[in-house]
């Protein structure tokens, strides 16, 4: 689950880090293999939407997560979530910075509920590269 969240965060963070006009089309890959695709961006506001596909080595490999966020200057903030199904249901908040036109570093906080009903919060940092 941790890897999936990390992958989600990286993909979203990388996309947001790109300039709003340069977001489409934009595909980013995390160091763990997750893919972030920006499908829509508003150059006037910096708002964007897309999908994050979890890393192949994570607990929920290849699972899509909705992404919404905003980019301003080199900073980016977004949320990835999967609320329409009970399996692999995770919400992650990503906050990062574009370190170059093709690289972004983002911190994430992911929240999910285990089958036992226990709420779990995980944190981490991920690096995305534009592909």
Instruction: Extract long-range pairs of 114-122: CB within 8 Å, 24+ residues apart.
Output: 120/1, 122/1, 122/2, 122/5
Is residue 117 classed as helix, strand or coil in its secondary structure?
Answer: coil
In this prediction, residue 94 carries a pLDDT of: 94
Mind listing the pLDDT tens digit for each residue in 16-74?
444 444 455 689 999 999 999 999 999 999 999 999 999 888 778 899 999 999 999 99
Q: pTM of the entire structure?
A: 0.76
Domains of the chain, by residue range, sit at 2-130
Q: Which CATH superfamily is domain 2-130 in?
A: Avidin-like (2.40.128.30)
Contacts of 87 (CB under 8 A, 6+ apart): 60
Each residue's pLDDT tens digit, 88-104:
889 999 999 999 989 99
Residue 121, number of CB atoms within 10 A of its CB: 8
State the maximum Cα–Cα separation within the chain, in Å, rounded to a whole number. 44
């Amino acid at each position: 689950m941790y890897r999936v969240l990390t992958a989600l965060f990286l993909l979203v963070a990388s996309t947001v880090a790109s300039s709003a006009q340069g977001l489409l089309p934009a595909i980013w890959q995390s160091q763990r293999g997750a893919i972030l695709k920006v499908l829509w961006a508003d150059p006037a506001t910096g708002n964007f939407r897309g999908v994050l596909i979890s890393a192949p080595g994570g607990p929920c490999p290849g699972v899509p997560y909705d992404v919404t966020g905003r980019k301003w200057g080199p900073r980016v903030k977004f949320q990835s979530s999967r609320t329409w199904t009970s399996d692999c249901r995770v919400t992650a908040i990503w906050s990062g910075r574009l370190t170059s036109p093709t690289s972004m570093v983002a911190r994430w906080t992911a929240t999910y509920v285990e089958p036992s009903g226990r709420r779990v919060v995980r944190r981490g940092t991920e690096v995305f590269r534009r592909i």
